[in-house]
A and B are shown apart, each in its own frame.
Chain A
Amino acid sequence: MDAILLQILNGLDKGSAYALIALGLTLIFGTLGVVNFAHGALFMIGAFCAVTVQRLLSLSYEMVDESQKDFLGNPLKVKTPYVESWFGPEIGGTIIDWAVPIAILFAIPIMVLIGFVMERGLIKHFYKREHADQILVTFGLAIVLQEVIKYFYGANPIQTPSPEALSGVANVGALLGMDIVYPVWRIVYFFFSVAVIGAIFSFLQFTTFGMVVRAGMADRETVGLLGINIDRRFTIMFGIAAAVAGLAGVMYTPINSPNYHMGMDFLVLSFVVVVVGGMGSLPGAVLAGFLLGILESFASMNEIKSILPGIDQIIIYVVAIIILLTRPRGLMGRKGVMEE
């Protein structure tokens, strides 16, 4: 029982990342009709926003300490972060420790800006082209972006820890009288993703802007004929989708040390999530994200793998095949989307 609950938690936690990325992909597809293969790269850039903030907050000045030697036997240059000298070691240390949450504030405007530049500078030229062209150009863009990141940050993973206060484990089984511990930061990540998903749905559901966007997603031409500049709103939605991917990346950094390739690792899975959920369906993307996360977790259990060896590596694709055979539009796909 403990093992099952643990894998459900694990699946929800994995599913959080899938759902957030798939939500952004679906937003872009649903509004602009673009299949954006650079969306994983946006997730990766978000993670590197956290790395950048951590480095900025850790910027240091050097003082030579004659009593210590460096690896060449020269007097050691001791580094002291500026924030520690400005605010004192305790407050300065706390600021550096909270680099990842602070990075959220930094990442939102950066990611929205990157989204605007991507959409206006490149992707808008491919609206009326085949999906294959869109995939090629956005995939190429993803490769360019990851190579740029590798040039500046290197190829190795970069440690970006969570704040000390959120780095331990929580006994989540205590309420049920069980001994189930789970990392606090992963629980934070789950609730964070639920909050972001809730905010996006509320924005689309309860604001005038959201209503117009939903109307545009349903019938772009009619909304345009009403004199509404739907293209501008869709561009803003691209920026918002980029910010969602970026936030997912920022908060993911303490879970796995970011590297330049992390976007590609999530990209294919996220597309499967979108297809399983139903192209263009926001609730479908979220539902499929969590569902596939949980299934993937269960498939990694030794008891399952002893019966079906290697199932952990193919489960998502097997489920995708089954769902697409039985429900060709995905779990919550709408009629007419990708069917012209």
Chain B
Amino acid sequence: MSKSDFSRRGVLKTGALAGTGLALPTIFTASSAAAFTNDPTGSSVTLGFNVPQTGPYADEGADELRAYRLAVEHLNGGGDGGMMNTFSSKELQGNGILGKEVKFVTGDTQTKSDAARASAKSMIEKDGAVMITGGSSSGVAIAVQGLCQEAGVIFMAGLTHSNDTTGKDKKANGFRHFFNGYMSAAALAPVLKNLYGTDRNAYHLTADYTWGWTQEESIAAATEALGWNTVEKVRTPLAATDFSSYIAPVLNSGADVLVLNHYGGNMVNSLTNAVQFGLREKVVNGKNFEIVVPLYSRLMAKGAGANVKGIHGSTNWHWSLQDEGSQAFVRSFGTKYGFPPSQAAHTVYCQTMLYADAVSRAGSFNPCAVVEALEGFEFDGLGNGKTLYRAEDHQCFKDVLVVRGKENPTSEFDLLEVVEVTPAAQVTYPADHPMFAGGALGSCNPGA
């Protein structure tokens, strides 16, 4: 026996449900077409520059902010235009982004993940930033990238070198222009082979966090492929300042190469300690002892002073490059600030230009449109030669510079010299490479 429910309440409930069901597709369609997080409806658009303004990387953060200010000036039609003139894409006209004046807010990451997330959240929720960019640490970049994915805004990473940023922690809303640990290893290995041969014993001192781990893994794999033996991998606390007790065991380890997987103050101190202990004058196994610093930073090299002389490493970009883009950027930055830009400044300037260009090409600030415009985008004229933003992992593939501490610097900025420009093809790896496995890019999130 069936029972029909034609009461007044039953009809109303059924009608309401049916109405909601019919209306749903319309709501979703309207949302995806026009509404996304912080859609700039006025005459300006706000970008969020999240850099370390305090803490150990504050000087790099300050240089990043200088570059951001310069990029905003150029986007709004001020200055000499910098790399906008050499950029292969000609969408940007110096009238802001899509005709909207570019404004910006800044946040202080303090090189701490929680502080960086808090400042990014504030810029998104209170200031209406449609894109977040910056950072000078992989831990911070990964944390902020995750936040931006959840919030539905684009994240254009600053200086982050861990494989994980575009590896297991990659996100659809996140993009990295900077190179990574694998690329450093791939660029350095052939140079090390030519310089030091294939019969070497390497000792690794590694900063104990995501960047250090992935760089150690990359360098060890690349040098072992050359025939080198890895004697020891020693993790050092990030907060360590005196590395003498970690350097002393190297002396009796039988190693003839010391690889310092350190950055920033760690690199300055560990390298200084290694030189103090006479490692560079040491002869082991009939060979001169050598030190390698896989990731160099000019700002940090300054802290290590004469200790960097003759020591090899890699870098994303250097102001002494002679291509049109680099020269335009150095001229623009140097004229404004009185000194050449760092690699951190260069990468964040590029990221700002690349975002602005992607929005212009897409004709929309919608993060999903920007993602689509950046995925697989090939460009040139930004100082690194022909570059690809790979769709599969949102990592830029471009030439990598192998550098050496200069023996006879002519100025306080002249600390590194480029010894080889490793072609992009040599540092490119498959998207499913084991070192980058474990995460999924997912799909873009427009938020709202």
Contact = CB atoms under 8 A, between A and B. Distances in A.
Decide if A and B are genuine partners: yes
A297 B242 CA distance: 11
B299 to A, nearest CB: 6
Contacts of B26: none
Contacts of B299: 156
Contact of B303 (A2, A257, A297): A257
B269 interface: yes
A158 interface: yes
A138 interface: no
B304 A159 contact: yes
Interface string A150-189: 1000111111010000011100000000000111011000
Nearest to A65: B410
Contact of B268 (A11, A157, A182, A185): A157
B241 A312 contact: no
A71 B411 contact: yes
Interface in B395-433: 410-411, 413-414
B330 A72 contact: yes
A76 B237 contact: no
A318 interface: no
A265 B239 contact: yes
Interface in A245-262: 255-257, 259, 261-262
Nearest to A168: B278
A180 to B, nearest CB: 8
Given A70-B411, A257-B303, A169 B278 contact: yes
Contact of A155 (B59, B302, B411, B414): B59
A3 B273 contact: no
A262 B306 contact: no
B263 interface: no
B306 A181 contact: no
B249 interface: yes
Residue from B56, B276, B278 having most chain A Cβ neighbours under 10 A: B276
A297 B335 CA distance: 49
A3 B245 CA distance: 11
B226 interface: no
A157 B335 CA distance: 26
A14 B281 contact: no
A13 B237 contact: no
B389 interface: no
A259 B245 contact: no
A150 B339 CA distance: 20
B252 A301 contact: no
Nearest to A302: B249
Interface in B25-58: 54-58
Contacts of B59: 154-156
B272 to A, nearest CB: 6
Contact of A261 (B56, B281, B410): B56
A196 interface: no
Given A10-B244, A159-B304, A183 B331 contact: no
Q: Tell me the interface secondary structure of chain A in the complex.
A: mixed
B411 A300 contact: no
A84 interface: no
Contacts of B232: 302
B139 to A, nearest CB: 18
Interface residues of B, number: 49
Interface string B263-278: 0010011001100111
A256 B241 contact: yes
Given A183-B276, A256-B269, A296-B245, A72 B335 contact: yes
Q: Tell me the interface secondary structure of chain B in the complex.
A: helix
Contacts of B57: 155
Contacts of A11: 245
B246 interface: yes
A10 B245 contact: yes
Nearest to A303: B249
Given A14-B242, A300-B246, A257 B269 contact: yes
A157 B303 CA distance: 5
Given A6-B248, A156-B300, A257 B242 contact: no
Contacts of A6: 248, 251-252
Contact of B56 (A7, A182, A259, A301): A259
Contacts of B414: 71
Contact of A161 (B55, B269, B306, B319): B306
Contacts of B340: 71
Contacts of A297: 244-245, 248
A229 interface: no
Residue from A10, A76, A169, A257 having most chain B Cβ neighbours under 10 A: A257
Interface in A1-36: 2-3, 6-7, 10-11, 13-14
A150 B300 CA distance: 16
Interface in B137-187: none
A131 B279 CA distance: 47
Interface of A: 2-3, 6-7, 10-11, 13-14, 68, 70-72, 76, 150, 154-159, 161, 167-169, 181-183, 185-186, 255-257, 259, 261-262, 265, 296-297, 300-302, 305, 312-313
27 contacts: A11-B245, A68-B410, A70-B411, A72-B331, A76-B411, A154-B58, A155-B55, A155-B59, A156-B265, A156-B300, A157-B269, A157-B300, A159-B268, A159-B306, A181-B277, A183-B277, A183-B278, A255-B242, A255-B244, A255-B273, A257-B268, A257-B272, A262-B241, A300-B249, A301-B245, A302-B234, A302-B253
Interface of B: 54-59, 232, 234, 237, 239, 241-242, 244-246, 248-249, 251-253, 265, 268-269, 272-273, 276-278, 281, 299-300, 302-307, 319-320, 330-331, 334-335, 339-340, 410-411, 413-414
Given A72-B335, A302-B232, 13 more contacts: A14-B245, A155-B55, A155-B58, A157-B303, A157-B304, A159-B306, A161-B306, A181-B251, A186-B244, A186-B276, A255-B273, A300-B248, A300-B249
